[in-house]
Amino acid sequence: MVETFAGFRAAEVAGVPVLWQPDARFKTFRVTLHARRPLGATAAARSLLPALLLQGTARDPDRPALARRMESLYGAAVLPLSEKQGETHVLRFTLDSVAGHRVPGQPDLLGDGLALLADLLARPRLAQGGLEAGSFERERRQAADGARAVFNNKGRWAAQRALALACDGEPMAIPEHGDIDAIEALTPAQCEAARRDFLGRGSMFAVAYGDLREDTVQPRVANFLAELPPRETEPLPPPVEPAPRDRRAAVERAHLQQSKLVLVFRLPTDVDASTWAKRGLFCSMLGGGPHSRLFREVREKLSLAYYAHATLDRHKGLLTIHIGLDEGAAERVEEEVRRQVAQLAAGEFTDEEFATARLGILSALQAVDDSIGDRSEFTARQWVLGHDRTPSQHAELYASLERTTIADGAAGLWLDYSYLLAPQTSEGSS
């Protein structure tokens, strides 16, 4: 294994790649273990795991006991989290803590925090059959309620529906929480199997960053990882990429005032870091902030939308545009978005637009090092994408791009799906 990666020290510890970097500018530190499996039929069980793990451990038998232990560690946060990263299901286990030397008595908060994290992962009540039916049922019901509550946030709901429809038949269509019916059918045994599967077969790596002592990081992380069961990692499949096809569309209705338009564009994923940088620049010029075409043309000049922005999913190869608007403007807005995409792809933009978008990205990359969370996330993303670059090196890559390369950023881009969430009509039809 390499000795450095993306500016972090790198070593394999107990069979797990560990990337770490002490940085005395901070007063806190973060350690995150990432475990990755293909997104699939067991998504619901995996998504429920964080809530079940927090029900207690062999040492701290219930939630209040666990929470009190965290409070005693100066409010350390020990958080399991389930998330979707393209077509990969990721479980992240994060320890976020103040550095021990910053508080009275200078406790070993790295060691103590990782010991708590190890208890959570390796010795949860779930694993010992100690999770009573009532607790499991409560968490399962709450997860199903949480999945239903996505509907309360209409922007998020529209994005979820758009992806489900655009990627129908692909793993990407599975929502982050799995599926409500699947959640309601879960059993404790399925969830425990999901935990063992993640720990036993998951593709793992760990990132540690912040106010850490050079001489203690590796031994403490090694102690932590030694608590995990033996692993036989399985490789992750590449994302599903359909061939270009005609644009598809759907309109769904709900009680709301402001309609939501979501346009799902596809991009090939098998490209190098330089192409992703070009795409990043293209996406920024299109919908990356107040300088972008969507903001200036669609929102400000044409007054067709309240918000309009574009996001890029590097894992799945999606460029998604999110717009809040009046239903009557939807057709015109979509036309305008397509016109702006075509113009940018054809190089019809000013030097100023190009320079502003690039400067915004460079400025954001410079600021990545100011935040433990942002730098840890950046390093993790680089590891997943296989791009061994520091934020500064990434900035150099952006700085080297010429305006003529923007067309490369739009190469292979095609509109797959147009989704509109609109108000109920007076007849209540949908």
181 lies in the site for other proteins, by CB under 8 A? no
What single-letter DSSP state applies at residue 404? Answer: G
Contacts 24+ apart (CB under 8 A), 367-372: 372/23, 372/26, 372/28, 372/29, 372/30, 372/209, 372/210
- Interface with other proteins includes 25 (CB under 8 A)? yes
Which of these ranges, 162-170, 223-231, 239-247, 301-309, lies near other proteins under the rule CB under 8 A? 301-309
φ/ψ (deg, to 5) at 204: -115, 150
Q: In terms of DSSP bridges, do strands 203-210 and 28-38 run parallel, antiparallel, or are they unpaired? A: antiparallel
Q: Which helix (H) or strand (E) segment is 215 a member of?
A: helix 214-226
Least distance in angstroms from the C-beta of 122 to other proteins: 21
Is 419 a binding residue for other proteins by CB under 8 A? The answer is: no
Residue of 151, 339, 346, 400 interacting with other proteins (CB under 8 A) = 151
Which CB, 128 or 366, lies closer to other proteins? Answer: 366
Contact predicate 26/210, CB 8 Å: yes
Is 309 a residue that touches other proteins (CB under 8 A)?
Answer: no
**Could you give the string, one character per residue 336-365, with x where binding to other proteins holds by CB under 8 A and - elsewhere?**
----------------x--xx--xx-xx--
- Binding to other proteins by residue 55, rule CB under 8 A? no
Asked if 258 and 324 touch (Cβ cutoff 8 Å), the reply is: yes
The β-bridge partners of 93 are 33, 80
Q: 3-state DSSP: the chain helix, strand, coil percent, rounded to 5? A: 45, 25, 30
Shortest approach of other proteins to residue 268 CB, angstroms? 30
Q: Does residue number 76 form part of the binding site for other proteins (CB under 8 A)?
A: yes
Binding of other proteins by 71 (CB under 8 A): yes
Told to check if 62 binds other proteins by CB under 8 A, we report: yes
Binding residues among 276-295 for other proteins as defined by CB under 8 A? 289-291, 295
CB of 105 to other proteins, least distance (A): 10
Which one, 236 or 254, has the nearer CB to other proteins? 254
Site membership for other proteins, residue 28 (CB under 8 A): yes
Tokens of 257: 């005032």
> Containing H/E element for 33?
strand 28-38
Burial class (CB in 10 A: 0-12, 13-18, 19+), 104: exposed
Residues in contact with other proteins by CB under 8 A are: 25-28, 51, 62-64, 66-68, 70-76, 97-98, 102-103, 134, 138, 141-142, 145-146, 148-149, 151-155, 254-258, 289-291, 295-296, 299, 303, 305-307, 324-326, 352, 355-356, 359-360, 362-363, 366-367, 369-372
